[in-house]
């Protein structure tokens, strides 16, 4: 049986095959690109922390009931709903710092004068210090920071509860990742609340204590310096008890920080290995030779 009779029929049949072939080639080229673009918008990190609502509600009740009863009137359900609205049903790489302003307004935490602590590269030791001296406060010790610290979250635009539990951008996967935007917004609120002398804790065992890509250098320090009356800054440079000793006052990137403060006419002090930081580490490593030497010199 003839499938095509006549010249015009065969031409139409051939033209149809050409169009289909072109479309197939287009799809083969487009789909991998689309997959790459999708990966760019959803990121390479793990998905939203399972049970994030329950975790945040639990932390909220713990903080406002036991840790800071002065905040007992905070509505934790409202806090969760406001936080969720900051990122849910949004493209993961297009969450702006301003999206968190309502949440941060709702969770503002008062900080006593002279008790704000900034840190870079020294996470554990800084928070060990605020645990034993709870009048001092880091960003992570405020209500907003405490609620989301070490959690992962991002949204999705294709249904469900608007939260992506499969894949989210890591901190640096995109300029406006949900987690990066939150910490930048929260840090600004934290700096704005700081008054009186502030403490800055840096790692003397890091290659660069005053890193160019740190939140402290990029955001917190410039905002502190821009205040009408910039607060005095007490710099603490602490080495790991087991070393190495790479940075110290007047040297390396710490010297860069000091020069910046001098140029801005901001009063500051700089202390290498403050006694409090040594004691904290020696409590965990009592048999370390440096601790034995320290106790012998400082009975």
In a domain, 1, yes or no: no
Chunked in runs of 10, what are the mean pLDDT values of the chain (299 residues)? Answer: 46 48 44 44 84 98 96 97 98 97 96 97 96 96 98 94 96 94 96 96 97 95 95 97 94 98 98 95 89 74
Domain count, the chain: 2
pLDDT at 34: 41
> Within this chain, do residues 91 and 185 fall inside the same structural domain, yes or no?
yes
* Whole-number pLDDT of residue 182: 98
Is residue 22 assigned to a domain? no
- In this structure, are 163 and 246 located in the same domain? no
76 and 125, same structural domain? no
Q: How far is CA 218 from CA 87, 120, 212, 215, 283, in A?
A: 24, 11, 7, 5, 33
Domain boundary among 193, 222, 256: 193
- Whether the Cβ atoms of residue 71 and residue 143 lie closer than 8 Å to each other: yes
**CATH code for the domain in which residue 58 is found:** 1.20.82.10
Contact assessment for residue 117 and residue 137, using Cβ atoms and an 8 Å cutoff: yes
Could you tell me the two tokens for 267?
């009063």
- Residue 246 belongs to some domain of the structure: yes
Residues 187 and 138: beta-carbon distance below 8 Å: no
Q: Do 83 and 164 fall within a single domain?
A: yes
What are the structure tokens assigned to 266, written together? 């901001």
Q: Is there a domain that residue 156 lies in?
A: yes
- Residue 23 is assigned to a structural domain of this protein: no
Looking up residue 280, the CATH number of its domain turns out to be: 3.40.50.720
Are 120 and 255 found together in one domain? yes
Calpha distance 144→25 (Å, rounded): 50
Threshold 0.85, pTM exceeds:
no
d(CA 201, CA 199): 6
Asked if 164 and 129 sit in the same domain, the reply is no
At 241-298, the pLDDT tens digits run 988 999 999 999 999 999 999 999 999 999 999 999 999 999 988 888 888 777 776 6
Q: pLDDT tens for residues 114-127?
A: 999 999 999 999 99
Closest by CA position to 261, among listed 251, 270, 252: 270
Q: Look at residue 281 and tell me if it is in a domain.
A: yes
In a shared domain, residues 207 and 280: yes
Dist CA 144 CA 97 (whole Å): 14
pLDDT of residue 227: 95
For residue 126, count other CB atoms closer than 10 A to its CB: 27
DSSP 3-state assignment of 9?
A: helix
Is residue 283 helix, strand or coil? helix
| Burial class of residue 168, CB neighbours in 10 A (0-12, 13-18, 19+) | buried
Q: Are residues 234 and 157 in the same domain?
A: no
CA distance 268 to 231: 9
Q: Kindly state the helix (H) or strand (E) to which residue 142 belongs, with its residue range.
A: none
Residue 26 falls inside a structural domain: no
Domain containing residue 58 = 45-107+142-193
Q: Is the same domain home to 128 and 160?
A: no
Do both 290 and 168 map to the same domain?
Answer: no
**Comparing C-alpha atoms, which of 104, 85, 99 is closest to residue 162?**
85
Compute the C-alpha angle 121/102/233, nearest 5°.
Answer: 35
For residues 146 and 63, is the Cβ–Cβ distance under 8 A? Answer: yes
Q: What are phi and psi of 257, to 5 degrees?
A: -65, -45
Q: Could you tell me if 158 and 256 lie in one domain?
A: no
Q: Which uninterrupted H or E stretch holds 269?
A: strand 268-272
Specify the DSSP class assigned to residue 169: -
Instruction: Verify that 298 and 230 share a domain, yes or no.
Output: yes
CA distance 43 to 295: 49
pLDDT at 130: 97
Nearest 5°: phi and psi at 288?
-65, 140
Taking the C-alpha atoms of residue 148 and residue 122, their distance in angstroms, rounded to an integer, is 19
How far apart (Å, rounded) are the C-alpha atoms in residues 193 and 200?
A: 15
* Alpha helices for 3-136 (secondary structure H): 7-42, 52-62, 76-87, 101-106, 123-132
53 in a domain, yes or no? Answer: yes
């Amino acid at each position: 049986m003839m499938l095509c009779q006549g010249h015009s029929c065969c031409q139409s049949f051939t033209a149809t095959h050409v169009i289909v072939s072109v479309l197939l080639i287009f799809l083969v080229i487009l789909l991998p690109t689309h997959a790459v673009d999708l990966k760019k918008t959803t990121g390479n990190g793990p998905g939203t922390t399972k049970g994030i609502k329950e975790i945040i509600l639990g932390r909220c009740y713990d903080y406002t009931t036991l840790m800071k009863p002065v905040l007992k009137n905070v509505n934790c359900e409202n806090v969760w709903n406001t936080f969720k609205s900051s990122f849910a049903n949004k493209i993961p790489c297009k969450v702006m710092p301003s999206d968190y302003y309502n949440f941060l307004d709702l969770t503002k935490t008062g900080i006593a004068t002279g008790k704000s602590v900034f840190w870079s590269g020294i996470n554990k030791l800084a928070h060990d210090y605020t645990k034993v001296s709870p009048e001092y406060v880091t960003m992570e010790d405020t209500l907003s920071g405490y609620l989301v610290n070490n959690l992962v979250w991002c949204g999705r635009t294709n249904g469900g509860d608007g939260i992506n539990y499969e894949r989210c951008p890591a901190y640096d996967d995109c300029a406006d990742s949900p987690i990066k935007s939150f910490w930048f917004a929260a840090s600004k609120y934290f700096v704005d609340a700081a008054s009186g002398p502030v403490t800055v804790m840096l790692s003397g065992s890091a290659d660069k204590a005053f890193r160019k890509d740190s939140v402290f250098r990029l955001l917190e320090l410039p905002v502190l310096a821009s205040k009408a009356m910039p607060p005095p800054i007490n710099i603490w440079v602490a080495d790991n008890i087991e070393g190495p000793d790479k940075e110290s006052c007047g040297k390396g990137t710490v010297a860069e920080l000091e020069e910046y403060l001098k140029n801005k006419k901001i009063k500051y002090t700089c202390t290498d290995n403050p006694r409090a930081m040594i004691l904290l580490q020696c409590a965990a490593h009592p048999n370390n030779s440096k601790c034995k030497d320290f106790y012998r010199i400082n009975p």
